[in-house]
Chains A and B, each alone.
Chain A
Amino acid sequence: MNIDHKGVAKFLSMLAFASLLLVLGGQAIGEEEYDEDTYGPKAPIIFTAPVKAVIFTHKIHTMDAGLSCDSCHDTFFEMEIGAAEKKDDFTMQSLYDGKYCGGCHDGQTAFASNTRCTVCHIGVKGFDRLQGGPKTDAHGGGHH
């Protein structure tokens, strides 16, 4: 019994230590990461025009995929917030023509713009979630 107890205690303390290491290690990895000056704004960009809504995350493209700022700025996108949405040609057709996201999302460099729609298109539902829950006045919800 005694031995058993000791064994269990030892095992538990080892487990605790291991998990502590994991947590600390994880934090260290997590902390060393996101520098907005290097990788761009941390908050996702949400486009709501011409359709609601499209999400763009700098992290995925810069830190994860290894692109630099001048990979897209200012060839495909101006840095100013909302600049692309103001333009009339910010459409899927433009993407197919190699503009905006279509500069890379052409099926060669990255997945083609006319595939995997919902990777970027998060919809009204995704938009509402990011705003903190669905709006009550939206024509939606349930029938109840």
Chain B
Amino acid sequence: MRISDLEKLKNEGVENLPSEERRRFLKFGLSVTGVFLSGSVLSLAAARNVHGAVEVLPPQAQKFPYSPHYSMVIRQNRCVDCERCKEACAKTNHVPSYGYRTTILEMERESGPGQTERIFMPVLCNHCNRPPCVRVCPTKATFKDKKTGIVVMDYKKCIGCKTCMAACPYNARYFKEENRAVDKCNFCFDTRLSKGETQTACAAACPADVRVFGDLSDTNSRVYKLIHAPEKVAWVLRPETGALPNIYYMND
């Protein structure tokens, strides 16, 4: 079946499918919404431009929607929740104590009979290619930067309606009282990247090299190489929303 045909089908959701069916559906879903296996990058263009899954073409860098196409690969199992990333972020971007631009989630997972494993999951704005927050903003106070694809805020335009906060699938926004506006991660664009730094504050502060930040359209970048390593399995959070996030997760 061709992608062009599939696009015409109505999305039936995954809630009511039996698990076998669901698994197959998800497997397909992965290829068009952003989780990908064995080094194929398929989340980076809108589904109508994806040929990789069907025609087995290698992903082409010139098809990346942005240049630089900023992205972060989070090597989840290296995270030990030291939270230096949070501290660095808060300091760099003046994040108040009641909010966050990035944080660490904690899970306990069964890893065997009577055994559990603790997992720390760093989260931040996913700088989606189809950002639900941008779609719902009534004043265009939040938008995709045309060059880099970073989802940015224009505080002056923000009226504080918080619709974007409700729309965000990643809970990556908070209302900053000091600004009377919603605040969020912008990959340290104003505080670091625009000043010549190549790393975000969080990535630079991480002692365990969990957060790898870079330009996914640059075939020599670490993010590109990690994402394309054939032996690696990478995933994104909440692919079912169709937001095409640019934060990838993998285990090292």
Contacts and interface: CB of A to CB of B under 8 A. Distances in A.
Interface of A: 50-52, 116-119, 121-126, 136-141, 143-144
Contact of A140 (B86, B118, B175): B86
Interface in B68-105: 77-84, 86-87, 89-90, 95, 97-100, 103-104
A52 B82 contact: yes
Contacts of A126: 81, 118
A139 B97 contact: yes
B98 to A, nearest CB: 7
Contact of B83 (A116, A119, A123): A123
Kindly name the residue among A52, A137, A143, A144 whose own CB sees the greatest number of chain B CB atoms within 10 A: A143
A117 B98 CA distance: 29
A52 B87 CA distance: 12
B103 A121 contact: no
B120 A123 contact: yes
Contact of B87 (A123, A139, A141): A139
Interface of B: 77-84, 86-87, 89-90, 95, 97-100, 103-104, 106, 117-120, 165, 171, 173-175, 207-208
22 contacts: A51-B80, A51-B82, A51-B207, A52-B82, A116-B117, A117-B208, A118-B118, A121-B81, A122-B118, A123-B82, A124-B83, A125-B81, A126-B81, A136-B97, A137-B97, A139-B83, A139-B87, A140-B86, A143-B98, A143-B99, A143-B171, A144-B98
B contact face: mostly helix, strand, loop, or mixed: mixed
Nearest to B78: A117
B173 A139 contact: no
A119 B119 CA distance: 10
Kindly name the residue among A51, A116, A117, A126 whose own CB sees the greatest number of chain B CB atoms within 10 A: A117
Contacts of A138: 97
B160 to A, nearest CB: 14
Listed from nearest, the 4 A-B pairs whose CB atoms lie closest are: A123-B81, A121-B80, A51-B82, A118-B118
A143 B125 CA distance: 14
Contacts of B89: 139
A139 B81 contact: no
Given A51-B80, A141-B98, A123 B106 contact: yes
Contact of B100 (A123, A136, A143): A143
A139 B118 contact: no
Nearest to B102: A139
Kindly name the residue among A50, A116, A124, A137 whose own CB sees the greatest number of chain B CB atoms within 10 A: A124
Contacts of B97: 136-139
B119 A118 contact: yes
